[in-house]
């Protein structure tokens, strides 16, 4: 998605202030069409003032994929800002607990319905859909809402772990013990997804939470990256480069290995606890 499109989307997001979390988190992103595709059907959005980061990978042909991922990103961001603001106001006025799992689920279901209805009303967009991986930080916790095979990773103390689980046919086979991880990586049908935004009007949403530690880094990406770059290589790249340059460098690496798909990468870094000073450098992980 072009910088212009991201700017246009941001103008449509309500300019509503939401509470700042206990930690200061910064993020940088990049997206590229790759070496084989004519159009970039990925989209991403960074809303630092609301502590929201989103990656979406569209499907359904050139027009449909672009529309689906852009609409998904916009709807998730709009709904997150609105619902967070309303929930925080309710928390201030009558101590209503902030139910982030329910909020994240509602946000992504709302975006799914919007994409489905848009395709229903425009025959040339029938069959379009998108993945989505959204991260929002509240208090001392990073929350993730996820559908599809885009991914979120946590890098902490020299280790990288996948936070989300792919909604793919091969991952279901791995989880059931029917095939190995190696067989899944080499499968010709590894990109067949079992859940997506917009193919149906409703979708089952995965929601996860990670308590934050200063120095944590989170990588959000489309499968154009993970189709070419192994997890240990992601860790090596993140560990040995400045956070601002990592997204573009990872995209370059994926493209150097064929660039068969669009690739989108966001890297966020927990740089400090609020009120305890700021640091422009990433904490060197212990080994």
Is residue 40, in this structure, part of any structural domain at all? yes
Alpha helices in 95-202 (DSSP H): 100-121, 169-175, 181-186
pTM score, whole prediction: 0.90
Side by side, the strands of the sheet bearing 217-221 are 23-32, 263-273, 217-221, 151-156, 159-162
Average pLDDT, the chain: 90
Domain extent for 15: 3-273
The residues near 144 (Cβ < 8 Å, ≥ 6 apart) are: 104, 133, 134, 135, 152, 163, 164, 206, 207, 208, 209, 210
For residue 154, the domain's CATH number is 3.60.40.10
Is residue 283, in this structure, part of any structural domain at all? no
On the question of pLDDT at 89 being above 90, the answer is: yes
On the question of pLDDT at 285 being above 60, the answer is: no
Residue percentage of the chain with pLDDT more than 70:
90
pLDDT tens-digit profile of 27-59? 999 999 999 999 999 999 999 999 999 999 999
Is residue 159, in this structure, part of any structural domain at all? yes
On the question of pLDDT at 245 being above 90, the answer is: yes
Is residue 143, in this structure, part of any structural domain at all? yes
- Residue 117: predicted pLDDT: 96
Confidence grade of residue 7 (pLDDT, cut at 50, 70, 90) = low
Alpha helices in 57-180 (DSSP H): 61-94, 100-121, 169-175
Q: Give Rg (Cα) of the chain.
A: 18
On the question of pLDDT at 282 being above 70, the answer is: no
Residue whose token pair is 């770059």: 229
Is residue 286, in this structure, part of any structural domain at all? no
pLDDT tens-digit profile of 136-185? 999 999 999 999 999 999 999 999 999 999 999 787 777 777 777 777 67
Is residue 287, in this structure, part of any structural domain at all? no
Is residue 117, in this structure, part of any structural domain at all? yes
Give how many domains the chain has, as a whole number.
Answer: 1
């Amino acid at each position: 998605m072009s910088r212009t499109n991201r700017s246009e989307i941001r103008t449509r997001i309500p300019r509503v202030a939401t509470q700042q979390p206990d930690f200061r988190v910064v993020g940088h992103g990049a997206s590229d069409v790759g070496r084989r595709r004519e159009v970039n059907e990925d989209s991403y959005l960074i809303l630092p003032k609301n502590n929201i980061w989103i990656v979406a990978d569209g499907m359904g042909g050139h027009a449909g994929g672009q529309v689906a991922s852009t609409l998904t990103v916009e709807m998730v961001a709009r709904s997150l800002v609105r619902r967070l603001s309303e929930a925080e106001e309710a928390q201030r006025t009558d101590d209503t607990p902030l139910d982030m799992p329910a909020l994240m689920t509602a946000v992504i279901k709302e975006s799914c319905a919007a994409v489905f209805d848009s395709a229903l009303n425009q025959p040339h967009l029938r069959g379009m859909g998108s993945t989505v991986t959204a991260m929002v930080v509240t208090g001392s916790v990073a929350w993730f809402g996820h559908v599809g095979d885009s991914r979120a990773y946590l890098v902490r103390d020299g280790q990288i772990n996948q936070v989300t689980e792919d909604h793919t046919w091969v991952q279901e086979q791995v989880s059931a013990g029917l095939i190995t991880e190696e067989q899944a990586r080499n499968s010709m049908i590894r990109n067949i997804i079992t859940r997506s935004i917009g193919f149906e009007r409703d979708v089952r949403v995965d929601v996860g939470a990670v308590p934050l530690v200063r120095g944590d880094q989170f990588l959000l990406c489309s499968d154009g990256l993970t189709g070419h770059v192994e997890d240990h290589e992601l860790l090596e790249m993140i560990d040995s480069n400045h956070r601002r340059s990592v997204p573009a460098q990872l995209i370059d690496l994926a493209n150097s290995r064929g660039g068969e798909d669009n690739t989108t990468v966001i890297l966020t870094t927990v740089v400090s606890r609020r009120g305890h000073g700021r640091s422009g450098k990433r904490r060197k992980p212990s080994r």
